[in-house]
């Protein structure tokens, strides 16, 4: 059984993906022994009617997968009245968390509005997922060059946000490992494995950051789902470590929320 | 050899969410008959102080994910464009040490550069004609592969029935000045229609790279060294045919995992997966392997 903390619903703007229909996605996840998947929405990257995006996400998660899809709503703090989106995610849709895309929404992590958003989410005990990159910068469309999020300011923001539970998604190698280590050491910050690379890369990661902060995330359907599973297999980690990454660490976050 | 279906890791059960016990890859994964051969691997970014130690580490990882054999090149220098020639020789010697230590798991591929044409022919003779190596490349050098200096190398490859693995990219942020593109590979391949040449990365930007090589039948689509983006292999098979698509990982900078996933997760037939994961490479290498009386 796996808890996959990083899947997306709806359409990637530049490519049809096997699995971008919810029926396909759910069937794939069930076949792969995923018991629960935390789902964001590709629509949240570019659309400005975020309330509509989140309503569709919640409805889709309700209609498909018999409860296995856990919606994580989008919040764009550069939109007017973004606080209402946080409130609706929490109260109307009873979401457990939100997913942020600073590099698509046009703010840096040292922007005061980011600190405000984290504070509000922490007060509501929402898990915050921070997507650092959606696509290798070397393969992006010339119409949309979106560099990875600059992670350097994150540690200071985390330190001043009481009660925050944060997960970094799509931890690209375009960001230095020392930035990840600093961010994770600054508070209750975890990271997913979808973009961890290098031969036996997961085994190396476990030596650099606490095991309890590493979560299974496939980034399906943008990535082939099998990539994340094979990373666990290639790592050679013992059963207890695999269980922590694939289930227990995510379960701890959910219990908090 | 590890049977991939024997990988059984039971994960936790019970607790607040009441998940049932199951294994990560139960009823999932590739059939053991797939025989995975990896056409693109390096000793760089692999733990170990010697070629033998590094190859030993790779062999453990190969066992975990079911890779039968590697084609290894480039040694492990931090210098991506070695010069003077002695550095190439050192890197090739490192690869040959790894091959000697693990003859059943790895074949060697010779590292050369069109920027050093005379030396390159000497090294081809030393490492392939008179030595244990079976392939050329990954060529990643201070000259693009469409230069005239590649012609003697291509002619040598044809005369000796040896396949070439050529580094190339189509980087949206811009290639390095001497970095090849798939278009350069096509240019070389059209000058030498009997040359068998593999694009190491098919542009990285694979939707462009696949189109760039589509009409040049002696150019092959290498899958190595890019993100495991959904749809890559399906498009390659649709546009090129499975016979022109070849799995490789680009370890140690990449994992076996993310690169095998491109094939394992693709919506293609098992027979196509067999070709891509090893069948095509064995077919291309067969002439030189037979000459050397090596296992296929």
Instruction: For B240-266, write each residue's pLDDT tens digit.
Output: 999 999 999 999 999 999 999 999 999
Q: Residue B240: count other Cβ atoms within 10 Å of its Cβ.
A: 20
Name the residue among A201, A180, A225 with its Cα closest to residue B252.
Answer: A201
Segment B83-111 mean pLDDT: 94
Point out which residues pair with B220 in neighbouring strands: B198
**Shortest Cα–Cα distance, B187 to chain A (Å):** 23
| Chain B residues lying within 8 Å of A227, measured CB to CB | 228, 257-258, 261, 265
| Chain A residues lying within 8 Å of B21, measured CB to CB | 1
Q: Which of B12, B25, B257 sits opposite A231 (nearest CB)?
A: B257
pLDDT for res B83: 67
| Chain B residues lying within 8 Å of A35, measured CB to CB | 17, 19-20
**Shortest Cα–Cα distance, B66 to chain A (Å):** 10
| Domains of chain B by residue range | 37-291
Please determine, for residue B177, whether its predicted confidence score (pLDDT) is greater than 50.
yes
**Shortest Cα–Cα distance, A12 to chain B (Å):** 11
Q: Do A234 and B257 touch (CB under 8 A)?
A: yes
Name the residue among A203, A86, A164 with its Cα closest to residue B256.
Answer: A203
| Chain A residues lying within 8 Å of B268, measured CB to CB | none
C-alpha to C-alpha distance for B277 and B66, rounded to whole angstroms: 11
Which of B205, B207, B227 to substitute to test the interface with A, most A CBs within 10 Å? B227
**Shortest Cα–Cα distance, A152 to chain B (Å):** 23
Instruction: For A203-229, write each residue's pLDDT tens digit.
Output: 999 999 999 999 999 999 999 999 999
H-helix or E-strand spanning residue A185: helix A177-185
Q: How confident is the model at residue A256 (pLDDT cuts 50, 70, 90)?
A: confident
Q: Which of B64, B172, B230 sits opposite A236 (nearest CB)?
A: B64
Q: Do A137 and B57 touch (CB under 8 A)?
A: no
Query: Which of A120-123's residues contact partners 24+ apart within 8 Å by CB, and which partners?
Result: A120/A83, A120/A86, A121/A86, A121/A97, A121/A164, A122/A161, A122/A162, A122/A163, A122/A164, A122/A165, A123/A163
**Shortest Cα–Cα distance, B178 to chain A (Å):** 17
Please determine, for residue B275, whether its predicted confidence score (pLDDT) is greater than 90.
yes
Please determine, for residue B4, whether its predicted confidence score (pLDDT) is greater than 60.
no
Q: Which of A142, A198, A236 sits opposite B253 (nearest CB)?
A: A198
Q: Which of B19, B60, B65 sits opposite A1 (nearest CB)?
A: B19
Averaged confidence pLDDT in chain A:
97
Instruction: For B30-71, write each residue's pLDDT tens digit.
Output: 777 889 999 999 999 999 999 999 999 999 999 999 999 999
pLDDT for res B11: 34
The string of DSSP letters for A5-59 reads EEEEES--TT---TT-SHHHHHHHHHHTTEEEEEEEETHHHH-S-HHHHHHHHHH
Give yes or no for a contact between B136 and B124, defined as CB atoms under 8 angstroms apart. yes
pLDDT for res A225: 98
- Residues above pLDDT 90, as percent of chain A: 98
Where do the domains of chain A lie, and which CATH numbers do they carry?
A: 2-256 (3.20.20.140)
Q: Which of A1, A16, A230 sits opposite B11 (nearest CB)?
A: A1
Q: Which residue of A has its CA nearest to B204?
A: A139
Cβ partners under 8 Å of residue B271, min gap 6: B242
pLDDT for res B16: 30
| Chain B residues lying within 8 Å of A17, measured CB to CB | 230-231
Q: Do B262 and A224 touch (CB under 8 A)?
A: yes
pLDDT for res B141: 86
Cβ partners under 8 Å of residue B80, min gap 6: B140
**Shortest Cα–Cα distance, B252 to chain A (Å):** 5
B141 or B151: whose pLDDT is higher? B151
Segment A241-257 mean pLDDT: 93
Give yes or no for a contact between A245 and A237, defined as CB atoms under 8 angstroms apart. yes
Instruction: For A80-103, write each residue's pLDDT tens digit.
Output: 999 999 999 999 999 999 999 999
pLDDT for res A47: 97
SS3 assignment for A186-219: CCEEEEECCCCCCCCHHHHHHHHCCHHHEECCCC
pLDDT for res B14: 35
Q: Which residue of B has its CA nearest to A12?
A: B230
pLDDT for res B30: 76
Q: Do B230 and A223 touch (CB under 8 A)?
A: yes
Per CATH, domain B37-291 is 3.20.20.140: yes
pLDDT for res B21: 37
DSSP-derived 3-state class of residue A142: coil
Averaged confidence pLDDT in chain B:
90
Instruction: For A5-64, write each residue's pLDDT tens digit.
Output: 999 999 999 999 999 999 999 999 999 999 999 999 999 999 999 999 999 999 999 999
Strand arrangement of the beta sheet that strand B106-110 belongs to: B36-41, B67-72, B106-110, B135-139, B164-166, B197-199, B219-222, B245-246
**Shortest Cα–Cα distance, A228 to chain B (Å):** 7
C-alpha to C-alpha distance for B43 and A231, rounded to whole angstroms: 19
Instruction: For B12-33, write each residue's pLDDT tens digit.
Output: 333 333 333 345 555 446 777 8
């Amino acid at each position: 059984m796996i808890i996959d903390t990083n899947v997306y619903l709806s359409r990637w703007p530049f490519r049809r993906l096997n699995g971008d229909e919810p029926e396909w996605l759910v069937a794939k996840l069930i076949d792969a022994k995923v018991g629960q998947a935390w789902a964001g929405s590709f629509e949240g990257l570019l659309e400005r009617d975020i309330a509509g995006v989140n309503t569709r996400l919640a409805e889709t998660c309700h209609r498909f997968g018999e409860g296995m899809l856990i919606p994580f709503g989008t919040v764009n703090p550069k939109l007017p009245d973004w606080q209402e989106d946080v409130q609706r995610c929490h109260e109307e849709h009873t979401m457990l968390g939100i997913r942020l895309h600073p590099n698509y929404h046009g703010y840096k992590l040292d922007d005061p509005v980011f600190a405000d958003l984290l504070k509000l989410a922490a007060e509501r005990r929402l898990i915050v997922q921070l997507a650092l990159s959606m696509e290798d910068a070397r393969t992006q469309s010339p119409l949309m060059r979106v560099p990875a999020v600059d992670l350097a300011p994150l540690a200071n923001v985390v330190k001043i946000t009481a009660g925050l539970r944060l997960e970094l998604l799509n931890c690209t190698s375009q960001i230095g490992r020392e930035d990840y280590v600093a961010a994770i050491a600054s508070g209750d910050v975890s990271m997913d494995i979808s973009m961890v690379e290098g031969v036996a890369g997961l085994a190396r990661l476990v030596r650099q950051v606490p095991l309890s902060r590493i979560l299974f995330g496939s980034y399906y359907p943008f990535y082939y789902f099998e990539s994340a599973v094979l990373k666990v297999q290639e790592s050679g980690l013992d059963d207890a470590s695999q269980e922590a990454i694939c289930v227990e660490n995510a379960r701890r976050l959910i219990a908090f929320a | 050899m590890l049977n991939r279906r024997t990988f059984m890791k039971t994960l936790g059960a019970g607790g607040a969410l009441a998940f049932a016990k199951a294994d990560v890859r139960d009823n999932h994964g590739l059939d053991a008959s797939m025989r995975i051969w990896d056409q693109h691997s390096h000793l760089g970014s692999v733990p170990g102080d010697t070629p033998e130690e590094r190859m030993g580490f790779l062999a453990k990882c190969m066992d975990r994910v079911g890779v039968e054999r590697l084609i290894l090149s480039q040694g492990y220098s931090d210098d991506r464009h070695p010069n003077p020639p002695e550095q190439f020789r050192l890197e090739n010697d490192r690869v040959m040490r790894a091959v000697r230590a693990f003859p059943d798991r790895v074949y060697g591929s010779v590292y050369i550069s069109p920027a050093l044409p005379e030396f390159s022919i000497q090294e081809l003779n030393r490492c392939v004609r008179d030595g244990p190596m079976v392939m050329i490349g990954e060529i990643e050098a201070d000259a693009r592969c469409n230069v005239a200096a590649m012609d003697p190398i291509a002619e040598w490859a044809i005369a000796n029935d040896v396949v070439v693995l050529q580094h190339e990219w189509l980087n949206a942020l811009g290639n390095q000045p001497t970095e090849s593109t798939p278009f350069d590979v096509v240019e070389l391949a059209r000058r030498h229609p009997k040359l068998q040449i593999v694009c190491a990365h098919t542009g990285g930007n694979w939707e462009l790279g696949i189109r760039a090589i589509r009409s040049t039948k002696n150019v092959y689509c290498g899958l190595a060294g890019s993100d495991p983006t959904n749809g890559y292999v399906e498009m390659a098979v649709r546009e090129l045919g499975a016979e022109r698509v070849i799995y490789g990982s680009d370890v140690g900078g990449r994992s076996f995992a993310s690169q095998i996933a491109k094939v394992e997760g693709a919506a293609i037939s098992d027979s196509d997966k067999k070709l891509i994961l090893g069948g095509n490479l064995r077919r291309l290498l067969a002439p030189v392997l037979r000459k050397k009386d090596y296992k296929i």
